[in-house]
Structure 1
């Protein structure tokens, strides 16, 4: 029987553990320094309102990958859910992503789809052939007015730097539509787990061949020779004790509020204006519209630079980070019995479905 060690009980670590233990010919030890499983996807019932809360910020499941969709449904019932995000700019509520309604409302027009295409092409900066950063990407596709209204301030608050310092790839996943479709995602499969995300992880890790140890921190002094392979899903710079320096991440923190009834009428509302401190407000009862609750709980979300005792959320991937990352990746190649996986282990921004797909592929290599 092979012995595996997995550091991290989020989606990456839990999927790998579930797959390796499935056939009963491996024993898997899963460590997590938190008191809970599920990583940043952990969910729980709020004791005062009864609302299912995503403790570390909202998560909406979506994918075009049929394999991933079928896999996740082994552990939950996915209720169809469409994420419709709103944004407040100068006291007006608009729909995101930018769509025909957003364009018409913002410019006080009544364009048809073809007229809107022509108009946006006229205001976009077509002198930019290959966008080199986030700001150029936005200016190339939507022009300065829409960029400054909906993206500049929000991005500066979320990432803590000028948007032109960020990679253009961050914005490439935000669509612009010339119809009235306000579904935030274009994925074929979209849903919300009926019983919350934690229930998924409980089922994934419920195996006699999986030993979960919470509140347990891994460090590089652990005796590794007792395991056939180690899968590490924590921050890659932490694994190497920051020998090449720290990679930069943004983290988020929340201000919790309780109210009667319905606070904002929508799951997520963004606040891109710089005179508003928070980046967005999420009201979690709207993630489970099939439930009824007299009270509501909502969270104002704020972003800041990750310090030593903070939970890292978003890899910034600035130029200096990518130079440092390359050193860690080269170091990782010297450790063939250790696989680095997940958002933190590879220092990449990935959604849940991408993390699951990567974990399934990694596990297949060891079955």
Structure 2
């Protein structure tokens, strides 16, 4: 039976979750309206073209996955290049390879074998008497010892989160890559790269043929927008959806300072981390290196962490005990909300890599289609 509404789905947010969900529903003949409060589609993967360089406007986005189906999926919209993420870190003027590997250990200690490196780390932690790590500092020390923690982790992490490392949960750093090989590839995933021509090609492909309305804030005209569609897909802040009934969830935010330089090459690498606490930014991104650019100019971005406020963008959920307890209350409300699908980083109060949010949207779209078919 045909719906009395103009659309089957109102999708709030044109980031990866919303774009993938709308694409999958469109393939099944569903009518979708995508709205976004920003003046562009694509959410945080949006790129701005400056002097022929695709600038990652909201920070570096490097796609990586071990899932061939996901890799083939994104490559069906735009071909991805062979970019491999190999960042470096600067501490007191000295350069160190990331992730922590034998090149890093050699620079620090002049060790040449994995056995020497492991012995050095062990010698630095054996007197610390750390059992089950109670915080990020203890977890980091167990992983890499005192030298690397003090030079390359502590300052960077405390800038990033705005809190002492001893007050941060251990799980934040558990996925930190540490390898005893001479391998500067940050990710272990089989597939990684950048869309040739920028991420807009990916999101434009996903949203092709779907009505998208920009500069539309869902909360300015919520009742009317809801009336346009049978169901709502909400990808914004879950606490805002429920009018902050249990209080506001907390985030860390970022401020980006973009600079155009009249030189071909500014730093020789896409990402350089600055680990000294006194330097206010955590890293400098040079965007042309993501696509092996040869333009005569270059664009860099300095990334400044900051506390989140209602007027800044929420980037990193602070998944401590207090916020997790609040989120669980909102999650229970969401589960009982009829006709609304919650998905994505903000609606699930969860940090997602790009491949994870795409997989989540594909799964939710398939589940939704199956439910509708069996109804």
Structure 1 length normalisation: TM-score?
A: 0.94
Pick from 27, 31, 34 the counterpart of residue 35 of structure 2.
31
Distance 2:125 2:132 in 1: 14
**Alignment of structure 1 residues 94-105 onto 2, 5 Å:** 94-105=96-107
Contact 2:11/2:32 (CA < 8 Å) preserved in 1?
Answer: yes
Shift, 1:225, TM fit: 5.7
Distance 2:55 2:207 in 1: 21
1:192-237 deviations in Å (ceiling 9; x for gaps) = 1001001111111112xx2211111112842546533221111111
Match of 1:162 in 2: 164
User: The residue matched to 1:362 in structure 2 has which SS?
Assistant: helix
Shift, 1:78, TM fit: 0.6
Distance 2:76 2:258 in 1: 33
Pick from 259, 271, 275 the counterpart of residue 268 of structure 1.
271
Shift, 1:102, TM fit: 0.6
Contact 1:121/1:141 (CA < 8 Å) preserved in 2?
Answer: no
Shift, 1:16, TM fit: 0.5
Contact 2:10/2:228 (CA < 8 Å) preserved in 1?
Answer: no
Pick from 6, 10, 19 the counterpart of residue 14 of structure 1.
19
Distance 1:254 1:241 in 2: 29
1:280 and 2:283 equivalent?
Answer: yes
**Alignment of structure 1 residues 1-367 onto 2, 5 Å:** 3-24=8-29, 26-46=30-50, 49-107=51-109, 109-124=110-125, 127-207=129-209, 210-219=210-219, 221-223=222-224, 224=226, 227-259=229-261, 260-289=263-292, 291-367=293-369
Distance 1:225 1:133 in 2: 47
Distance 1:301 1:144 in 2: 26
1:114-154 deviations in Å (ceiling 9; x for gaps) = 22122223323574333232222111211222112111111
Distance 2:11 2:290 in 1: 31
Distance 1:201 1:91 in 2: 39
Question: After the TM superposition, which of the residue ranges 93-102 and 130-139 deviates more from structure 2?
Answer: 130-139
Shift, 1:238, TM fit: 1.3
User: The residue matched to 1:359 in structure 2 has which SS?
Assistant: helix
1:77–1:174 Cα change, 3 Å: same
User: The residue matched to 1:293 in structure 2 has which SS?
Assistant: coil
Contact 1:99/1:180 (CA < 8 Å) preserved in 2?
Answer: yes
User: The residue matched to 2:41 in structure 1 has which SS?
Assistant: coil
C-alpha RMSD of matched pairs (Å) = 1.6
Q: Where does structure 1 lack aligned partners over 5 or more consecutive residues? A: none
1:153-209 deviations in Å (ceiling 9; x for gaps) = 1111111111232222221221101111000111000111001001111111112xx
Match of 2:373 in 1: none
